[in-house]
Structure 1
Amino acid sequence: MSNYDRINDLKDILDLLYEKLGEFEKELIMSSNKSANFEVKQRIKREIIPAIRKYETEYWELYPQEAIIISDEEAETQLVKVEQAVVSIEQIPSNAYPSALIDLLQEIRDKLDKQDKAASAKLKVVLPLIPAIASYELEMETQGLMSKTWENIKEIVRR
């Protein structure tokens, strides 16, 4: 299977997962049953969101970087948000999250600190790492700064 075929498969999978997430969110809004709502929230948190992040990570790892066209100005704005999200996560006591998250944060820091790359190049390199951090944010029930940033970046790239 070629990368192009896998990217298309991943896009279809993600579309289905986002549709499923939307249906669960509608169910939460329309239902007054607290027990059922708790179960739906747990399914979203433990099944849907981790699956979305897993497939998003693979999607962005396979997505051809040359196809991503982002101006340096736009990339710089998003990188500032990524930096703010990294700082906010780092302020949480380190025993509150897994060591894999620390490794991902360090990897993002290393990529952001490279002085020889343009902002758009840095953002392209960081893209595959962001879904995993957003997933950890959900597990830690933090503010979700990385998740919000990730949503903005996805919209910019898909334009």
Structure 2
Amino acid sequence: MISDRLYHLQSEVQSYYKQLAGKEKAKRLAEQAEKERIQQQIDELKQELNAVEREYWMRWRAEIAGLTIPEADAEEVASGMLREVEFLEIEPTVQNHAQLMQALQEIKAELSKPGIPAAGKLTAAIPLLPGVIAYEMELDTEGFLKRAFPTVCKLANKLKK
């Protein structure tokens, strides 16, 4: 059973993504003089989001070890994460960052191990994610998290029930 704190953090992260989307849209539509002020707000939101995401993934790391995840759900999350890792690996800014590429390769290796149930793969891959998030948004890990987060949220919602 997922803790109430983890569930709360999940909703906080979703809220931050909505706020960021609104600010990014406002920046696109703003006059040039306003764009810098809006960018500062975006940067502040990203810092706050980063702290909440870091706690979220650290709690996931602690809680996933004690969970029994249905194989079908674990397979869905693991395959979704694997696709996102593969997508992130081809990003030029990521390819130029050796530590991030190494972390992605470790995650990919865990998610691709043959003969291991998806739940085991997922249990091994989740603890590696806080290392990816530590690089913050500068390397477009934000896109990875935006795409991977809904899949993990669906699993958390199923486990919450």
Do they superpose with TM above 0.5? yes
- Using the alignment, how far apart are the partners of 2:21 and 2:97 within structure 1? 32
CA RMSD of aligned residues (A): 3.7
**Which residue does the alignment assign to 2:37?**
36
Q: Does 1:52 align with 2:52?
A: yes
CA, structure 1 residues 116+136, in 2 after alignment: closer, same or farther (shift >3 Å)? same
Once the two structures are superposed, the pairs formed by residues 57-72 of structure 1 within 5 Å of their partners are 57-69=57-69, 71-72=70-71
**Which residue does the alignment assign to 1:110?**
109
Kindly state the Cα deviation for residue 48 of structure 1 after the two structures are TM-superposed: 1.6
1:21 to 16, 30, 35: 16
- Using the alignment, how far apart are the partners of 2:96 and 2:52 within structure 1? 20
**Which residue does the alignment assign to 1:122?**
121
Q: Taking structure 1 as the reference length, what is the TM-score of the superposition?
A: 0.68
Structure 2 spans left out of the alignment, 5+ residues: none
C-alpha distance after superposition, 1:39-60 (max 9, x if no partner):
1111123x12321232123212
Q: Taking structure 2 as the reference length, what is the TM-score of the superposition?
A: 0.68
- Using the alignment, how far apart are the partners of 1:86 and 1:75 within structure 2? 16
- Using the alignment, how far apart are the partners of 1:94 and 1:13 within structure 2? 32
| AA at the equivalent of 1:75 | A
Q: Pick which of 20-29 and 91-100 moved more.
A: 20-29
Q: Does 1:149 align with 2:153?
A: no
| AA at the equivalent of 1:74 | D
- Using the alignment, how far apart are the partners of 2:109 and 2:51 within structure 1? 27
Percent identity (aligned): 19
Structure 1 spans left out of the alignment, 5+ residues: 1-6
**Which residue does the alignment assign to 1:93?**
92
CA, structure 1 residues 55+87, in 2 after alignment: closer, same or farther (shift >3 Å)? same
SS at match of 1:49: helix
- Using the alignment, how far apart are the partners of 2:154 and 2:78 within structure 1? 15
CA, structure 1 residues 68+133, in 2 after alignment: closer, same or farther (shift >3 Å)? farther
CA, structure 1 residues 30+139, in 2 after alignment: closer, same or farther (shift >3 Å)? closer
- Using the alignment, how far apart are the partners of 1:113 and 1:22 within structure 2? 29
- Using the alignment, how far apart are the partners of 1:65 and 1:39 within structure 2? 38
- Using the alignment, how far apart are the partners of 2:109 and 2:134 within structure 1? 20
CA, structure 1 residues 100+17, in 2 after alignment: closer, same or farther (shift >3 Å)? farther
